[in-house]
Amino acid sequence: MPDLTFRIRWPNGDEEACYSPSSIVRNFFQEGEAYPLNEFVDLSEKAFEAASERVRAVHGYPCSRAASQLATLKTRSNAFETYPDATVTFLRFDVGLASRTSS
């Protein structure tokens, strides 16, 4: 269950690094793909729920960092609800970086 980080680009051009405790997020996103804002949020909910459940299966409790990352994405996405045709671009997966950058 390797953790990973990934990078996204918000509708205003800002880029953000995100954390997942499980590589299962690869099943939900494609590098280089632009997702309509609502679809990105829906997929994020599914991906982080699945990642947290993998942590629960191994450790007996859900991943608080996954819940926190999802909350951050949802909060940030609210700022773009009024943007016409808002999309979030999934830039890339950064496998192996999360363990070196997380505490």
pTM equals: 0.86
pLDDT at 1 over 70: no
pLDDT of residue 95: 66
pLDDT of residue 71: 96
Q: Which residues pair with 34 in a beta bridge?
A: 89
Mean pLDDT, range 43-58, rounded to an integer: 93
pLDDT bin (cut points 50, 70, 90) of residue 5 is very high
73 contacts: CB under 8 Å, gap ≥ 6: 18, 40, 41, 44
Mean pLDDT of the chain: 90
pLDDT of residue 62: 87
**DSSP letter for each residue of 6-53:** EEEE-TTS-EEEEEESSGGGGGT--TTEEEEHHHHHHHHHHHHHHHHH
Mean pLDDT, range 77-89, rounded to an integer: 95
